[in-house]
Structure 1
């Protein structure tokens, strides 16, 4: 029988995200500061966000006759304007599709075309790629919106402030577009790469997001508060996790405004800025990933900062070892708990209770409210409690399917609503989940998904490569997997260090930063394959484990 959550189910209102966040009573003041940019600096209060989202939504309707289900794509690093744009798009009835700002032009164009984006939001530093991708995808240049620094005055590209001002001055007659069916109507299209190398659009409805916010709240209890903290201004969270990733989007952006917490927004991760922001703003909570914890455990520069305001860190996106948790705790005296989730589950399904973080170190936590889970054998049989199998999860947070990909949707979702996660694990008698492996072949580099088939396809386009296979190898010094390639060179080509550098640089120019071959290259005579032609990655992973890895290649 499937295991139900030990948490009492919470009531999930069948409303859209904007209604949930801005039309329901809040238990914190309207002028409570929610988002702060520590560089400018500037901030948005709760009421600021509510007003600005309506202005942006009206501006979209006025500028481009924005309709229900029109898609706006975000191609930008973190910014405190992202919440305004996100919920302003929802106000106008649209769908938001975040994209990695490190994407190449072609990678961005693929997402633009697949999601059918009507407009793009970017920053000036990323405008060249955005323009080129828009042209490929058939999007007019005047449908590009800038945040941050403005473009030259002669450009047809508008700034976000222009859209908001248009909404205020001309949009008084525009009404909010309210989704008729929040359980089915989409709020987000986030992209998750598959093992085939083709990115898949994960369709997340309004109720998917609303339910996950409430499930997280029930799991965290009273531990997140807009009162208290070091200066009685409530908890402050450090927001360096990318907002284009479902982890940052839900756990940071949405959780902050729902709970009345102040989110200090970092454009990107930097260790010194991470520490200085904690010290200056007296950060109380930090959502992190294992490579950050590795730095906190070992980097000597940490000792220059006062991090005593931190009362908890929560790690996700990749497995966390007991040794690393203990190393950080011994150095900083800060508890570290762990969670588990996927893009397809909006994302969080499990979280460690704060008071058991050390008792069950290594666990990804217990199942959050309103869900059930079962563990399945390779043959599709449900396994008894405690046995190791693939996780199948059901709940109101489970996605609607993959955009334009019926086959992938049918392979991922069962007829009775369970999502086949592709991850393998078990739970102990207390309900603590332990992830042990992955059915999927995806490589996880610092929480980012790297599809090996995509890299193999690109490598095979190199004139001197006969065959190639890519696997993930774990690098303890970085606390993450890295992509490593096994390559068969064409006859007459010499597999030496110079050739390795040349191929790695060639590939780096064609993929996003997180997809680079940081594990290096090994030359082989033949890629091991099954009789059906499938690459035997397991054989290569075993081979990689026996071989001493070279120094990290960035």
Structure 2
């Protein structure tokens, strides 16, 4: 039998995100509670500020661009406290938000703009050149590009989003009615092993459900009035808002629960530690490489991080040694969670009280979820046996945009999502993830599709054939991409300078997280099956041999 959540079911209201956040009768905190805080400029948004700004922006979209239900607004920006108001302003107007990685090249961004059918693009001034180039490729007029953040175009060549929200004659516009179960709230892009990212279609109900699931049980220990001075829990937000982890767990959770969110545009160890110390931050969502820095970097000792009640790590597995090293050094507790873009994201969470009892586990199923592990033959497996994890619940996505075949492969007729992750559960309902069916490389939580890099690398004159795999880098506490290359005959003998040349060449063509941090290795041939499929497991065995010096036999 499939495993049911050990938590009691919760009620999922039949409302869209706007009503869920702004039209509730049970908000426990005041309208003037500061929710989104820029610690570098001291600029803030209270609940009331977010709501009024979002309404004005939504009205401006309708007035200026005849915004219709289902129109897509792309967001290409680092973390910014303007993001929530722009997001929910888009929803107020009936639109769908599609956040993009600010590290994308123009070509990578253009693919997402075209695939999503984006009608307009919001960015920051520092990224305007990339945004304009991508918009041109995607056919978006440049007058549909606007900027957010503190920096404005002094020559007024690009509108600031505040000018959109201050559009005159908008009083006649009303909020667009939406069907929470059917209408999309977000199009987030998740990389696939076939190269191009896939548009993950998340409905309003998906997000509403997952916010409530994540706030249930022990997760609800975060409160707006916690602490001796009753000022509430404070969260540091460096996880990217364009990623589903930050989008749901940071932006949405904070407003629903009334938590103060200190927003960083990107991660910096010194800034991270300084903000925790200065503002007495109590909670942080992190990823394993950050846990590694906190556990081992000498600069951390200069700061007082004792205000932290708990860290929650996700996006990639966390080792027992790392959890114990961190606690031994700083007395900081870290628990784990699990989820995917397709699950909005969180499906499992380790309870606060179990952080040291079930290290290595991703936790228990959240409320209203059912899961099972399935063998390669499609048979359900009992506790203790390893198989692919399938999950079912109200937070499971609607499907992949413009990709019915991939959707059919991923969603079963009875509603289970095949995660592609392999693991098992114990007799106490704790779940463990041990491997991936899919071949995606996860660098610090970001997905790197090997086929995309291979497709680019074969275009280099030194490369005759290539395969890319992920190898674990202990120094970074994450997987990194490594390329195995068959050199063209004209380049023999090959050496370190050729490896560096190839790696540096690729770095100019991809976002930062896709760089070949695992290096380039030259081989005589790429191992392949009789049908031509790359045997990555053979290369992984080779990589393990190179690291350990021991012979490792790969399964064929």
TM bucket normalised to smaller:
over 0.9
Task: Confirm whether residue 188 of structure 1 aligns to residue 189 of structure 2.
Answer: no
> Displacement, 1:221?
4.7
Task: Confirm whether residue 303 of structure 1 aligns to residue 301 of structure 2.
Answer: yes
Mapped partners of 2:32, 2:41: distance in 1: 20
Pairing of 1:51-62 with structure 2 (within 5 A): 51-62=52-63
2:44 alignment partner in structure 1: 43
Q: Is the 8 A contact 1:230 1:309 kept in 2?
A: no
Mapped partners of 2:217, 2:399: distance in 1: 26
Mapped partners of 1:504, 1:130: distance in 2: 25
* Aligned counterpart for 1:151 among listed residues 143, 150, 153: 153
> Displacement, 1:549?
9.0
> Following superposition, which runs of at least 4 residues in structure 1 exceed 6 angstroms of deviation?
none
Task: Confirm whether residue 533 of structure 1 aligns to residue 532 of structure 2.
Answer: yes
Mapped partners of 2:328, 2:75: distance in 1: 40
Pairing of 1:231-246 with structure 2 (within 5 A): 231-246=229-244
Mapped partners of 2:505, 2:337: distance in 1: 37
RMSD: 1.1
Mapped partners of 2:35, 2:203: distance in 1: 24
> Displacement, 1:483?
0.2
Q: Is the 8 A contact 2:463 2:488 kept in 1?
A: yes
1:511 alignment partner in structure 2: 510
Mapped partners of 1:86, 1:346: distance in 2: 16
Mapped partners of 1:81, 1:58: distance in 2: 16
2:85 alignment partner in structure 1: 84
Q: Is the 8 A contact 1:465 1:489 kept in 2?
A: yes
> Displacement, 1:153?
2.8
2:101 alignment partner in structure 1: 100
- Structure 2 length-normalised TM: 0.97
Pairing of 1:490-501 with structure 2 (within 5 A): 490-494=488-492, 495-501=494-500
> Displacement, 1:184?
1.0
Mapped partners of 1:328, 1:457: distance in 2: 40
Pairing of 1:426-505 with structure 2 (within 5 A): 426-494=424-492, 495-505=494-504
Mapped partners of 1:549, 1:121: distance in 2: 48
1:178 alignment partner in structure 2: 177
> Displacement, 1:222?
3.8
1:14 alignment partner in structure 2: 14
Pairing of 1:409-428 with structure 2 (within 5 A): 409-428=407-426
Q: Alignment partner of 2:541: what SS?
A: helix
> Displacement, 1:331?
1.2
Mapped partners of 1:442, 1:230: distance in 2: 45
> Displacement, 1:87?
0.3
Task: Confirm whether residue 272 of structure 1 aligns to residue 270 of structure 2.
Answer: yes
1:388 alignment partner in structure 2: 386
**Deviation sequence 1:454-484 (CA, Å, 0-9, x none):** 0000000112210000000001111100000
Mapped partners of 1:94, 1:386: distance in 2: 44
Mapped partners of 1:549, 1:127: distance in 2: 46
Q: Alignment partner of 2:391: what SS?
A: strand
Q: Is the 8 A contact 1:208 1:396 kept in 2?
A: yes
Mapped partners of 2:391, 2:304: distance in 1: 41
Pairing of 1:225-374 with structure 2 (within 5 A): 225-229=223-227, 231-374=229-372
Q: Is the 8 A contact 1:230 1:282 kept in 2?
A: no
**Deviation sequence 1:285-315 (CA, Å, 0-9, x none):** 0000000010001111111111111110000
Mapped partners of 1:231, 1:449: distance in 2: 41
Mapped partners of 1:62, 1:546: distance in 2: 62
> Displacement, 1:152?
3.2
Q: Is the 8 A contact 2:219 2:351 kept in 1?
A: no
Mapped partners of 1:70, 1:153: distance in 2: 29
1:135 alignment partner in structure 2: 136
Residue correspondences, number? 546
> Displacement, 1:165?
1.0
Q: Alignment partner of 1:492: what SS?
A: helix
Mapped partners of 1:401, 1:219: distance in 2: 29
Structure 2 unaligned residues grouped into runs of 5+: 550-556
Q: Judging changes above 3 Å, is the alpha-carbon distance between structure 1 residues 265 and 549 closer, same or farther for their aligned structure 2 residues?
A: farther
**Deviation sequence 1:385-413 (CA, Å, 0-9, x none):** 22110000000000000000011000100
Q: Is the 8 A contact 2:69 2:95 kept in 1?
A: yes
Q: Is the 8 A contact 2:500 2:520 kept in 1?
A: no
2:554 alignment partner in structure 1: none
Pairing of 1:103-122 with structure 2 (within 5 A): 103-122=104-123
Q: Alignment partner of 2:491: what SS?
A: coil
1:123 alignment partner in structure 2: 124
Mapped partners of 1:20, 1:368: distance in 2: 20
